Structure 1
Amino acid sequence: MSGLDSLPSLLLCRGFWAAAFGILVITYIVYTIVNNLFLSPLSRFPGPKLWAISRIPSQVSVLRGHSHLDITKLHEVYGPVVRIGPDELVFNAPGAFRDIYGFRPGQRTFLKDRNHYIPPANGVDHLFCAVDSEVHARQRKLLSYAFADRALKDQESLITNYVDLLIEKLREKTVKARNERKPDVDIKSWMNYTTFDITGELMFSESFHCLEESQLHPWVELIFKSIKALAIIGAVNQFPVISGILHKIIPRSVIQKGVDHFNLGCEKVDRRLDNGSDKPDFISAMLKNSLSGKEGQYGEDEKIMSRAELHSNAFILIIAGSETSATVLSGCIYYLCRHPTIMDRLVNEIRGTFTADSDINFSKTPTLSYLAAVIEETLRMYPPVVTGLARVPPAGGETVDGDFVPEGTTVSCHHYASYRSLSNFVLPNEFIPERWLGTDPRFDSDKKDALQPFSLGPQNCLGKSLAYAEIRLILCKLLFHFDIELCPESVNWIDQEVYFLWDKPALMVNLTDRSVL
């Protein structure tokens, strides 16, 4: 038989296998749909059908920056537990927060889901992304020295100096604004200048000089640009079968932003190690028992870190140590400006308590009850950790808020969605600090233990006390010295997208210096 004679048979053979492959693909898709909708152990949980079939809808929501809004709406429709993926559930009840993130005798620990916790460029876990509990515990023990009450007391004068520099710079700004008749100030940026300078000093014994130069350090600007890259990479990681292909589609410039941010952190760490410092800072805490000369894994009881672990932790601590406080401060100022009555009550409390700037300190600011209520309400309305911290149940599965969750399921409580839920808070979308004072019976039914902005349990935020101290001090000094009014262009400032962090635009305000009134 000639080659031409055998061609029809060859084409027929190829056509057969192509058809067979097509049938196989269709069969697999149909099976996956049927399994996810009807046979999966999660099929009994409510949620949108398209989200149950595929991870695509949830990750499109993330990439659009609307996941906080979408999850909130899903809870409104489907209740306190919603299936948002073939193997993912979200909860919003206080009991779910305790079960997933807390620690109770007799309950096994929920572990971090590696697909949601991306190691930095060197592939070495830092405190936030460490999936191995022993690695996390070892790093946390070392860092805890830097966040202890004694350390906070020792840091007070340093932090106060930077807050005083903020007031000085804003005062110069208002004088210049009066002369130029341009009174607008982007107060969000000034909050970032302050918290990044403080964090740089606490981390490396070296400021970023943002306040002195009245602009963000190039590295700080790079951080914000790299956050969206992390969101994109995180979304790609939710499709492990094709993640290799998807990673190649991500523009190299996007990946490079994250690498550049990491490399700058490494340079800061190495310079701090080479120069040394007598000041107690985060690096000295991590070096409490010297620096390990080897790389690799260490036991939980080995109080030591490698240089690579220092690099990784510098990467995350600069963000976590500064952006959370700056976010809360910006949100608080916005909501106070939008609610003049609340602003007046807080200003009266601050100016009625302190007769001089020198009276404002770490020991006195916690005594202001209305200030505390305003901060809690800001954390509820505008939480710095917006979405959820993904966890997986231990082998064999575990119970979450009364529902058994099989192993292999990703679970989380989304902060924004939980705090804006009518099932947890009365008038959930209204800024009302009085709900935290216990004086208004309208809020007696509020489930206040649903508010967990710094998480809870053995992996809660180490910097919680430092963040509160910074926020209280900055707000008190700012409102003691200035009257603040929102500019018209920032009335809708709160309408923001989310990529791990809030994508905050300029927050334009008018400042009036009380010293010249």
Structure 2
Amino acid sequence: MQFTSLPFHLVVVSSFLILSIAAYVVYQCFLSPLAKIPGPFLAKLTNLYRARLTLRGHSHRDYIALHEKYGKVVRMAPNELSITDPSGFREIYKAGNKFVKSASYNVMQGPCPFDLVGERDEQVHSSQRKLVARAYATDSLLHLEQNVDDVIRSLLAKLDSVRDQKIDLGEWLQLFAFDVVGSISFSRPFGFVESGDDQGLFQRIQNTIASLAWLMHVPWVYHLHAMLRPVIGNWLAITDKDGFFYEYASKETVGRKDRGGDDRDMLGQLLTAQSEKSQLRDADINFMMTTNVMAGSDTTSISLRGIFYLLLTHPEKLQCLMAELETQKGAGQLSDIVSAAQAKACPYLQAVIYEGMRLMPPVASVIDRDVPAGGMTIGPYFIPAGTVVGTTAWALHRVPEIWGPDANEFRPERWLDAKAESNLKRFFFAFGGGSRTCIGRSKSD
């Protein structure tokens, strides 16, 4: 059928749609305040580009490639930019600034009223953080070293029992990380190292985080699903965050209360805080324990796996580390299970940890922020208020301007120069930055 033979009203509607789409494309590519900023063509037109990038499963590598191709400022969506410019990064994540978390974090928070990661309101976040900060303070956690040491002994015993077998070391490190979180949170490990089995929990965590990652870029899908869920049922793994994992953490909390435990474990610290601050509710404590179970175990295991992988693929660096540890051991400076204080006194070990987390940071996503009133300037570009800007540690940690021409190489020695170390830590983004830095980060880091 020819276009001219269509009914007049369909011709009008079709023409209007075509002109509207054409006008939108022309605006985004040539007239938008962000039109001059380079980036993939589809990214200029739709947020679906970022969602697809995340769904592919290796967006952390993709962001590195995009910045190598387009430069320090890349347009990732019609109103969203990825930044690796050092001065721009410092401005966005400077403590006390007005770059608040973007609307994408509404998906992360979901229906949870107490979420230190997802909460966008700075005042609410500050008051919530103060309620629970004591439980996550370094000196509080150091009281629980024995709990961690017990899990280390259990892991070493299990690895000895499979000495002549081919194993997935990464899987064992994840079992270990999960049990450590259980031990410091509830005074008892979950028993995953002992059984050598995670009971399918790790895949469920992975599915939940993967679902969250792409939905943050298309929040309308999340909200539409929430509206239709009573009719269509649950199709999104993200709902496990405030469903399955909340119930899992709640049961562990009840079990810890019933059997007793070390009052200095994280739950004990929160219960003490609750007795002093009545605004901290039981549900809030359960939400914090949910974060421990999901994010705490996952980020810890990713960091461990990355560090071990880099050491095993760089045997010369492993030899340097072993030489330091053997020297310290020979001088009587290390116990069989190395304490936190002893580890802190091993410069090369600390350098390995920093370098491992630099090249393989546990959080791969761009940490989005809204540009405040007045806008900002990055290089030749003026970025108006309301634009979403952010940085991913995977790309920032490979900027030669910051890390040198060998930015892609695993070289712990870069952290041994005291003068250089001070500057490098200003751009170390594995724990986030500004007032929203991970609550578990040591103040000495």
Query: Does the 8 A contact of 2:85 with 2:378 survive in 1?
Result: no
Equivalent in 234, 241, 248 of residue 216 of structure 2: 234
Distance (Å, rounded) in 1 between the aligned partners of 2:374 and 2:233: 36
Corresponding residue for residue 296 of structure 1: none
Corresponding residue for residue 208 of structure 1: 190
Corresponding residue for residue 64 of structure 1: 56
Distance (Å, rounded) in 1 between the aligned partners of 2:220 and 2:34: 18
Corresponding residue for residue 271 of structure 2: 287
Distance (Å, rounded) in 2 between the aligned partners of 1:14 and 1:244: 39
Indicate how the Cα distance of structure 1 residues 278 and 371 shifts in structure 2: closer, same or farther if over 3 A, else same. closer
Cα offset, 1:256, TM superposition = 5.8
Please say which of residues 82-91 and 390-399 is displaced more in the overlay: 390-399
Q: Secondary structure at the match of 2:173?
A: helix
- What 5-or-longer segments of structure 2 have no aligned partner? none
Indicate how the Cα distance of structure 1 residues 358 and 69 shifts in structure 2: closer, same or farther if over 3 A, else same. closer
Corresponding residue for residue 261 of structure 1: 245
Corresponding residue for residue 159 of structure 1: 148
Matches within 5 A, 1:146-225: 146-174=135-163, 177=164, 183-225=165-207
Corresponding residue for residue 344 of structure 1: 319
Indicate how the Cα distance of structure 1 residues 381 and 150 shifts in structure 2: closer, same or farther if over 3 A, else same. closer
The Cα offsets for residues 253-296 of structure 1, whole Å up to 9 and x where unpaired, read as: 6456553233323333344456665522323333334379xxxx
Distance (Å, rounded) in 1 between the aligned partners of 2:182 and 2:116: 18
The Cα offsets for residues 189-218 of structure 1, whole Å up to 9 and x where unpaired, read as: 221122111111222333211112122144
Distance (Å, rounded) in 1 between the aligned partners of 2:46 and 2:337: 57
- What 5-or-longer segments of structure 1 have no aligned partner? 1-11, 178-182, 293-301, 469-517
Cα offset, 1:385, TM superposition = 1.2
Equivalent in 424, 429, 432 of residue 408 of structure 2: 429
Structure 1 residue 412 corresponds to structure 2 residue 369: no
Indicate how the Cα distance of structure 1 residues 290 and 450 shifts in structure 2: closer, same or farther if over 3 A, else same. closer
Distance (Å, rounded) in 2 between the aligned partners of 1:438 and 1:210: 40
Corresponding residue for residue 392 of structure 1: 370
Q: Secondary structure at the match of 1:90?
A: strand
Corresponding residue for residue 346 of structure 2: 368
Query: Does the 8 A contact of 1:152 with 1:466 survive in 2?
Result: no
Indicate how the Cα distance of structure 1 residues 232 and 328 shifts in structure 2: closer, same or farther if over 3 A, else same. same
Distance (Å, rounded) in 2 between the aligned partners of 1:241 and 1:270: 32
Structure 1 residue 51 corresponds to structure 2 residue 43: yes
Corresponding residue for residue 252 of structure 1: 235
Cα offset, 1:401, TM superposition = 7.0
Equivalent in 18, 30, 40 of residue 38 of structure 1: 30
Normalising by structure 2, we get a TM-score of 0.86
Cα offset, 1:140, TM superposition = 1.3
Cα offset, 1:15, TM superposition = 2.6
Read off the aligned partner of 1:342 and give its amino acid letter. Answer: K
Distance (Å, rounded) in 1 between the aligned partners of 2:258 and 2:139: 27
Read off the aligned partner of 1:371 and give its amino acid letter. Answer: L
Indicate how the Cα distance of structure 1 residues 450 and 131 shifts in structure 2: closer, same or farther if over 3 A, else same. same
Query: Does the 8 A contact of 1:103 with 1:457 survive in 2?
Result: yes
Indicate how the Cα distance of structure 1 residues 166 and 278 shifts in structure 2: closer, same or farther if over 3 A, else same. closer
Read off the aligned partner of 1:414 and give its amino acid letter. Answer: T
Query: Does the 8 A contact of 1:219 with 1:261 survive in 2?
Result: no
Corresponding residue for residue 12 of structure 2: 20
Read off the aligned partner of 2:372 and give its amino acid letter. Answer: P
Equivalent in 307, 313, 318 of residue 282 of structure 2: 307
Distance (Å, rounded) in 2 between the aligned partners of 1:218 and 1:399: 47
Indicate how the Cα distance of structure 1 residues 321 and 123 shifts in structure 2: closer, same or farther if over 3 A, else same. closer
Cα offset, 1:128, TM superposition = 0.7
Query: Does the 8 A contact of 2:303 with 2:360 survive in 1?
Result: yes
Corresponding residue for residue 506 of structure 1: none
Indicate how the Cα distance of structure 1 residues 22 and 285 shifts in structure 2: closer, same or farther if over 3 A, else same. farther
Indicate how the Cα distance of structure 1 residues 13 and 77 shifts in structure 2: closer, same or farther if over 3 A, else same. closer
Distance (Å, rounded) in 1 between the aligned partners of 2:233 and 2:121: 28
Distance (Å, rounded) in 2 between the aligned partners of 1:76 and 1:115: 26
Corresponding residue for residue 133 of structure 2: 144
Indicate how the Cα distance of structure 1 residues 47 and 253 shifts in structure 2: closer, same or farther if over 3 A, else same. closer
Query: Does the 8 A contact of 2:359 with 2:408 survive in 1?
Result: yes
Distance (Å, rounded) in 2 between the aligned partners of 1:303 and 1:131: 23
Indicate how the Cα distance of structure 1 residues 147 and 123 shifts in structure 2: closer, same or farther if over 3 A, else same. closer
Distance (Å, rounded) in 2 between the aligned partners of 1:128 and 1:385: 12
Matches within 5 A, 1:402-481: 404-425=382-403, 426-438=405-417, 449-465=426-442
Corresponding residue for residue 330 of structure 1: 305
What is the RMSD computed on CA atoms of the aligned residues? 3.4
Q: Secondary structure at the match of 1:89?
A: strand
Q: How many residues align?
A: 436
Cα offset, 1:220, TM superposition = 4.1
Distance (Å, rounded) in 2 between the aligned partners of 1:278 and 1:338: 40
Larger radius of gyration: 1
Q: Secondary structure at the match of 1:378?
A: helix
